[in-house]
Homo-oligomer: A and B are copies of this chain.
Amino acid sequence: MQRILNDPDNIVDEMLVGFTKAHADIVTPTNNSRVLKYVGAPCKGRVGVATGGGSGHKPAFVGYIGKNMCDAVAVGEICTSPTAIAFLDAFRAADSGKGVACLYGNYSGDNMNVKMAIRMATKEGIEVKTVVANDDAASAPKDQCEKRRGVAGEIFMWKVGCAKAATGASLDEVITSAQKAIDNTRSVGIGLTPCTLPAVGHPNFTIEEGTMEVGIGHHGEPGIEVCPLESADQMARRMVDIVVNDYPFVEGNEVAVLVSGLGATPIMELYVLYAEVERLLHKKKIKIYKTYVGNYFTSLDMMGVTLTIMKLDDELKELMDMEAYSVGLKQA
């Protein structure tokens, strides 16, 4: 394992030290070493937005703390939900008295810890409501949507929810907009190589050279199909088909598109794939209003790519267009 590490069991804490020092203009530590918050949080008169999740997905999750982005983030071990206490402390850091929207991904650990944290927060008089991202179309059949994983679509959910909070909207309004964002969003991933948890030291699953895993999860959870490695254009077609047919996105829709690398895939390859995604959507007369290409939600050193598409309406367009300033997402 050719990695930059000291004690692999301590990597999350060490990473947080570096992150906090490098981005002191945006994030600030809290009393809980596993919770970071926006320098401006809690934002007076605004609903707070909190999230959290396991580590190893940089820039997610702490990279989405910022201006008009998340107020506080609970940080877990690699690929492991943060503790209930960490979520609670994130709620505390985010709350200005107007309540907290906890926008997180659908994983059983996160569900349990968030549930416990909310119970404690409620006792303290902090109102918390949740939106649970479940955009990964490959992670369960459509009639079991509630089982689906949250993946890169969480970024759209955060962007929309946080922008809504920035408008001064109420907690219910923020929840409604963030829920609409994720309901309008579908993702799918293709894995080309496995990832290695630093403390394990070797990949815990294999993707044979010359094959690819369609529908892989952000933690290396197996996908729906292992098939021979395809060309970029074929991958794009496969991903567009899964995502477009699942929602479904139809002629005339306006959409936001996010192509994210899983970590170790050279960025230039994401653009090669995006070129074909764009052509395919154009052919289906689906209009791309906004595009993001880059490493937005990764899985340690995994090679591969995810495609995320969100259908926009006037409200979502306005919220997606709002200025934002975080490590992972900056827009004027």
Interface residues, chain A, with chain B CB atoms under 8 Å away: 2-6, 11-12, 14-19, 21-23, 55-56, 58-59, 192-193, 207, 209, 212, 229, 231-233, 235, 259, 263-275, 278, 291-295, 298, 300-301, 303, 305, 325, 327, 330-332
Contact B3–A265 (Cβ < 8 Å): yes
Shortest Cβ gap from A68 to chain B (Å): 12
CA distance A278 to B17 in the complex (A): 10
Q: Which residue of B lies closest to A266 (CB)?
A: B300
CA distance A141 to B231 in the complex (A): 44
Contact B2–A293 (Cβ < 8 Å): no
Given pairs A14-B272, A15-B275, 19 additional interface contacts (CB within 8 A): A4-B232, A4-B270, A11-B269, A12-B268, A14-B232, A14-B275, A18-B271, A18-B278, A18-B293, A22-B271, A22-B293, A56-B266, A263-B264, A264-B303, A265-B301, A266-B298, A266-B300, A294-B327, A330-B332
User: Could you jot down 13 A-B contacts, CB within 8 Å?
Assistant: A3-B269, A3-B303, A5-B231, A12-B268, A16-B271, A18-B271, A18-B273, A18-B293, A55-B268, A264-B266, A265-B301, A294-B327, A332-B332
Chain B residues positioned under 8 Å from A272 (CB to CB): 4-6, 11, 14-15, 18
- A5, A12, A263, A325, most chain B CB atoms within 10 A: A5
Chain B residues positioned under 8 Å from A292 (CB to CB): 22
Chain B residues positioned under 8 Å from A56 (CB to CB): 266, 268
Chain B residues positioned under 8 Å from A293 (CB to CB): 18-19, 22
Shortest Cβ gap from A184 to chain B (Å): 21
Shortest Cβ gap from A114 to chain B (Å): 23
Contact A271–B19 (Cβ < 8 Å): yes
Contact B21–A303 (Cβ < 8 Å): no
- A18, A192, A207, A264, most chain B CB atoms within 10 A: A18
Q: Which residue of B lies closest to A261 (CB)?
A: B4
A2-B266 in contact given A18-B293, A21-B278 (Cβ < 8 Å): no
CA distance A26 to B62 in the complex (A): 26
Contact A207–B2 (Cβ < 8 Å): yes
Q: Choose among B58, B209, B305 the residue that contacts A4 (Cβ–Cβ < 8 A).
A: B305
Contact B4–A301 (Cβ < 8 Å): no
Chain B residues positioned under 8 Å from A233 (CB to CB): 6
CA distance A19 to B303 in the complex (A): 20
Q: Choose among B58, B264, B305 the residue that contacts A264 (Cβ–Cβ < 8 A).
A: B264
CA distance A17 to B21 in the complex (A): 37
Q: Which residue of B lies closest to A273 (CB)?
A: B4
CA distance A266 to B12 in the complex (A): 12
Shortest Cβ gap from A139 to chain B (Å): 21
Q: Which residue of B lies closest to A257 (CB)?
A: B22
Contact B266–A58 (Cβ < 8 Å): yes
Shortest Cβ gap from A177 to chain B (Å): 24
Contact B5–A232 (Cβ < 8 Å): yes
Shortest Cβ gap from A130 to chain B (Å): 26
Shortest Cβ gap from A220 to chain B (Å): 13
A229-B266 in contact given A271-B19, A274-B21, A291-B22 (Cβ < 8 Å): no
